[in-house]
Amino acid sequence: MKSSTKVFSIVLLSTFMLVLMNQVPGSEAANCNYMDLMVCAGAISSPQPPSSDCCAKVKEQQPCFCGYLKNPTLRQYVTPDAAKRVATQCHVAIPRC
């Protein structure tokens, strides 16, 4: 009897979490593909301002920044001053994770 109660509780909790996640506005996961930020390469490697395409990608990728910062291979591309400058010019904050 206890085993069936545990299974029921797990199923109920899982169902509740799925419903809750679907109710949160903007809960759609961002497509975390750091290659999408290649459109910003020119603005990062030179003092030119970022393009509107670059800023759109930076804003789109903002939810991914913590993941990028935790990845030692990608962190080197997100933390340089030039990358921070581009994010600032695009009005996007780089989070503290």
Average pLDDT per block of 10 residues along the chain, 97 residues long: 40 29 39 93 92 96 92 84 92 87
d(CA 49, CA 52): 9
Crossing angle, helix 52-61 and helix 81-89, to 10 degrees? 100
pTM above the 0.75 mark?
A: no
* Domain boundary assignment for the chain: 34-89
Q: Find out whether 89 and 49 touch, Cβ atoms under 8 Å.
A: yes
Cα angle, residue 88 at apex, residues 84 and 92 outer, rounded to 5° = 100
Which residues have C-beta within 8 Å of that of residue 32, sequence separation ≥ 6?
61, 63, 64, 67, 68
Q: What is the reported pLDDT for 80?
A: 84
Q: What is the reported pLDDT for 38?
A: 93
CATH tag, 34-89: 1.10.110.10
